[in-house]
Structures are given as C-alpha cells and as structure tokens.
Amino acid sequence: MAKKILILGVNGFIGNSLSEALLRKTDAEIFGIDMNNDKLENCLQHPKFHFTEGDITINKEWVEYHIKRCDVLLPLVAIATPATYVTHPLSIFELDFEANLDIIKKAVKYKRRVIFPSTSEVYGMCPEPEFNEETSALVTGPINKPRWIYSTSKQLMDRVIFAYGMQHDFQYSLFRPFNWVGPKLDDILNPKAGGSRVLTQFIGNILRGEDIKLVDGGEQRRCFTYIDDGVDALLRIIENKDGNANQRIFNVGNPKNDYSIRELAEMLVKIIKTYPKYAKQAEKTKIINVSSAEYYGKGYQDVPSRVPSVENAEKYLGWKPTTDMETLLRNTLDFYLK
Ligand code: UDP
C-alpha cells in the first residue's frame, strides 16, 4: 500500500468515505485539502490525517508541493450535479476541466501516479444494454443542451490522461462511478435548488412534506451503488497489486441495482413508512410528474439507461459490488433519519 496519498476535495462524498476507510484499513498517510471539513469528524484527529483548509484553484503552491511530496494523487474536486450543468456550464468547464488539467500536468511533470474520477456520464445516451470501458460508444447531445458539458469535459480529460499515458508513460487509473449513494451524500436539511442527487432529493422531499417530482415520468433507469462498495474498489486501485490498475479504466457500479426513478421513489416511500417518526410524512407524500424543461430548463436531456459492465474491475481488481438496493437504502436512511 502506498505511503503518502494526496486527496484534493477530501471533504466531499467520496473523499471523506475513502479517507475513513484508508485510516481504518491501511497504514497510509493522507494529506487532504478542501474548503470545508464538516464531513471529516472521524478523520481530523487521526495522527496520519493532515487536513488543510483551502481552494485548489487558489492554493496552487500548496497543491504542487504536495503532489511532489506524495506517492499517489486523487483529484476529487468537481461539480457533479446535473442542475448546475444546465445553469452554469462554464463553471463545470473551469473547475472540472481547466483546474483539473493543471493538476494532471503537474502530476505528469513530477511522475506521480494519479487516480482520476471519470464518470458514468461519459457514456451519455449510449444505447448498449451494458457499458464497457474499452468498446462502448460515448454518445452525447447537441451543443444547445449544456447538460452534456459535464460529460464532454470529463471525456476530454479522460482522453488527455490516456494520451499522457501513451506518450509520456504517465501512470493513471480512471474510475467511473455509477450513481454512488450513501450517508453524507448531500445536505438534505439545507437544500440548494438542484444541488442534490436524486436519492437525497427524494428523501428531503418526503421529510419537508413536498411532492416527489418524477422528471419526464421517471422511467429512466440508474444502477445505484453503495459508497462502501465504491470505496472498496478505490482501495484496490490504490493498492495496485501487480500494477494491475495501471493505465486502466474501471466502471465502478452495481449492475444488479438497476431501477427506474419511479421505482426508487416508490421504494423510498415504502421504507420510510417503517420509520415510526417519519411514517406519517411518507403516508402523505405524493409522487407527481414534471417535464424536464420545467424541472431543469431547456438545456437538459436525460440518460435513459445506465448499466455498467464490471468485468474489468472483477478481472483486474478482484472487485464485485455486494450491497443490494434494500440495504443501501436502509443504511442511507438510517444515517439521515436517526
Ligand atoms: N430526477 C427526478 N426527480 C428529481 C431529481 C432527479 O426525476 O427530483 C431524475 C433525473 O432527471 C435523472 C435521475 O433522476 O434522470 C438521476 O438524477 P441525478 O441527479 O441523481 O443524477 P444523474 O444520474 O442523472 O447523473
């Protein structure tokens, strides 16, 4: 296991869970930077955890110094909420692409290994029943649908990283999360408009006595993946046994948890009815339909179905997701409701 790990965006949903797991299961030393530290209560006091409050786009010297100092780098700073793709596409380009490109170039300069978050969004509206890292087409929509700026910014970054691998022997691993969910995903008590992912959005709707809104009927499907399964894949990528993760791309998702958004809403209402304190709220909840233009604006276009092939992760990392939908929902609800 690598000794020194640098995590940019360490307080994020993935960063904080990964840090906890690294501290619990390995002897790695973690250097992390973030603008906030509210999700790091289990890490901050640990002798092997070093936190700096800062912004990677401002504290560039700190970042460069730590890239030099560490063995492995995980640049996890990005905006990943669809509502923002539609309202502020340039912010996505500036942070997810430009700021991260600067970091990749430094990792190339100092020959450091990078584990970079690609996304299941790169496959876009790919019609294949299962998305494969090496063979699937990446299908996006027209320019007047800014929703695709996230997908294409990430795609170009994947291509740049791949090219550095080809031409400079850059050591990287790309991982593509498929709707990772779990405790600490979003803040459901202080909702920002469109600032949360569908699961936390729906939990918040139920708790606040609002209707659950199914965008365009809710027939679109996602494979929901529990954060602990995702983090387990990351630990294996970091470990990089026999160099098996080098210069590879991994889908990290649970193909068995393939549900429509409508099914997700119905399951949630049903399960929340079993929490005595919130049962009444759940009884009252209405599930309604809204158009995507109404919900997100004209620049939105949806992904109808998104199922990962996880053969590569199994073959090269010995990884398989194990958390089923019921368990994943209950664990997440226990965190938010108890
Ligand atoms: N969605 C919905 N109602 C909401 C929020 C989201 O129907 O209140 C839908 C959204 O249109 C998308 C799916 O749920 O089809 C998943 O949305 P999320 O924001 O979690 O991210 P995505 O998987 O699209 O990246």
The pLDDT, as a whole number, for residue 189 is 78
The pLDDT, as a whole number, for residue 115 is 98
Which helix (DSSP H) or strand (DSSP E) does residue 212 occupy? strand 212-215
Ligand 1 pocket test, pick from 261, 285, 289, 303 with the greatest ligand atom count within 8 Å of Cβ, gives 261
The pLDDT, as a whole number, for residue 160 is 98
Cα of 272 vs its chain's centroid, Å: 25
Distance in angstroms (rounded) separating the CA atoms of residues 18 and 30: 10
The pLDDT, as a whole number, for residue 265 is 98
Atom of ligand 1 nearest to the CA of 215: 7
- Is 30 exposed, middle or buried (CB count within 10 Å of its CB: 0-12, 13-18, 19+)? buried
CA 77 – ligand 1 centroid, Å: 21
Ligand 1 binding pocket includes 261 (Cβ within 6 Å): yes
- Beta carbons within 10 angstroms of residue 204's beta carbon: 19
Ligand 1 binding pocket includes 152 (Cβ within 6 Å): no
pTM, two decimal places: 0.97
Cα of 66 vs its chain's centroid, Å: 23
Contacts of 222 (CB under 8 A, 6+ apart): 178, 179, 198, 258, 259, 261, 264, 306
The pLDDT, as a whole number, for residue 338 is 86
CA 221 – ligand 1 centroid, Å: 9
Distance in angstroms (rounded) separating the CA atoms of residues 90 and 150: 10
Distance in angstroms (rounded) separating the CA atoms of residues 96 and 139: 19
Ligand 1 binding pocket includes 302 (Cβ within 6 Å): yes
Kindly tell me the sign of the dihedral angle through the C-alpha atoms of 16, 21, 23, 28: negative
Ligand 1 binding pocket includes 215 (Cβ within 6 Å): yes
Distance in angstroms (rounded) separating the CA atoms of residues 54 and 38: 14
Distance in angstroms (rounded) separating the CA atoms of residues 211 and 287: 6
Atom 6 of ligand 1: nearest residue by CA position: 198
> To 10 degrees, the CA torsion angle through 106, 230, 201, 158?
40
The pLDDT, as a whole number, for residue 1 is 54
Ligand 1 pocket test, pick from 196, 198, 286 with the greatest ligand atom count within 8 Å of Cβ, gives 198
Ligand 1 binding pocket includes 305 (Cβ within 6 Å): no
* Average pLDDT along the chain, 338 residues, taken 10 residues at a time: 89 98 98 98 98 98 98 97 94 98 98 98 98 98 98 98 98 98 89 80 95 97 98 98 98 98 98 96 97 95 97 98 98 95
The pLDDT, as a whole number, for residue 137 is 98
Both tokens assigned to 57 = 């786009």
Q: Does domain 78-182+225-256+306-322 have CATH number 3.40.50.720?
A: yes
Distance in angstroms (rounded) separating the CA atoms of residues 317 and 183: 25
Distance in angstroms (rounded) separating the CA atoms of residues 54 and 63: 10
